[in-house]
Structure 1
């Protein structure tokens, strides 16, 4: 890492404004932020392009596609992690919470078999210093699955685990309040015929009734004891939100209705929605659109979910829509707000004293194009 870096002639996006300015980076930290240009010969001229804080991603299952690049194909875990890491960094994400799914409702799924492989791959490559982004773990707990609590207890003390979400994807509630959407989604995803789908629904409903409430409460209690950040998932009603508040949740992931999102925001939960929802113009499940929540100014965090490049693109699109989000506020949804929600107060903003996690980007015809990425002042893309 160079002892000192100067970035000049940049369109700096800070927490509350945009300005043409310069940054001085030293020992991995932002030590000076100035308006105007630096005239020092060693300054790097960014040509008036955007200089943004590195993105913070709280919920992505992108790694899974590299563990199983085709049906029936298992890829070596370390190689999969490195490929995933390269894509994450190229999307401007400098801190990523890789989501590991505990409990799998897919009748042909391999998530449970891959769980330890994914974990081992992340731990080994991180310990060896091979990763360009800062990787943390997000345990996604499907509380309707019979093995979830047991598996969670086996994994929760892994030091990389810093965020836990609880979810129940049974039909007739939360994400899939409309059964026809549930049928459409899972018949297509798992290639089930009508009879298989009927059996699948019966099994999911039975498991939800038997396991969900008890496992949700137990997981929350374990997280509270360890001081782990907690997220709800797919809250749809005021009752769901009140339960999440009683559990001490910090984040409301993907609320499915305006009522739930508004109540979550008002009660102090940070409302997280999918960046692909912004880019595509709506929810693939037929639920509330992220842009609609932005119009009501209750959208706090964006997540790339399944498409890393959507994160920065969605932030720029959000700033152009008819809502209360200018560019600094829109960029905060992918940097400062997720960092703070996860308890990371040393990053997510261009400010003296914070980590020099930065993105140099251009915008061409509405498309954000990343030119350079720094993590703690070390160029990683």
Structure 2
């Protein structure tokens, strides 16, 4: 992959489109439907689709689903958003008998030019054009399955033009994107339930709020969707260092997921159930291979080399995570506690967040476990919170905090603060997928 500082052919096309069309969200299916009709409705020529919505866990369940399908020897196209470093990360093209690869840069640029021509300058958002690109790419390349991640919400998200998904998956729902989706979890759940299609299977992941679960269950019942609910029809738990998955077909004793955190047990279970519900083969062998091979960059990813790793205190643990809302903060903090129980280290946060998020809610999860927060700016977005404002939010949540100008300055400040004291610290760079992307790019370790 080219260095993150290079300007790729597809990035040139996307920058041009951003100059012509709005970058934000305008939730509607009218524009994307019109464009797809001009393009010959590629969304109707896809392999079986696993359609994934939720506030948290969408990316993880997509990664697990891909790992399960590829472990069975199947080719899988995957659409996720946002990307961390390079635009091509949003489109993984399936390959028979081997892991899928990120789309070739020139191929993506060609598809974007074709879509822009078909749109003829009409009103549309850049995100809708990027989603149309997924449909075109996936329709024109053979594969056994497609994993399609929702961008925001569900009902009016521009991925929601798929009439008959093989399975719809709804992951944990909590408060996020309130201006667009509503200020109560039941309202957000109603939006995300919009990806359910009459008579098509639905898998409902672990839900932290009963009000959201009730909305999802009633919607599935109203639409006659065969439903599988975490904690009722399937589930997973750790036992003697192994993951025990169970559903109506019995128990499976498999390795713990490679992805860190107890929340990944529930995510893995949802993926297993979803792949089964979509009528793909799932065996003990494929589950074992998937758990040890699954990858999902920027989600509790440990950096063991690279530029930022060299800047950090000697012997420290350096982690990157893109979780950015209170629900994500809780599961990430729980994972940090788990690490602390196995190997005690002082925890320092390096945090950047967007101004659409709830920073106090995020920081509260760390109030009793983090020594200090260094707040940083985020590049690549106009919506980042000022580090001074973010530091005040950390203070409101009960954390000692300091605003700094960069990731490098934050790591230098931590190095100075800890000195030669042992054990070396544990550092978590997080609070935004944009910041996770900044970190991976600056570290020289972009997703592949």
Higher RCO structure, 1 or 2 (CA under 8 Å, sep 6+): 1
Give TM-score scaled by structure 2 length.
0.24
Give TM-score scaled by structure 1 length.
0.27
Greater helix fraction, Structure 1 or Structure 2: 2
Greater strand fraction, Structure 1 or Structure 2: 1
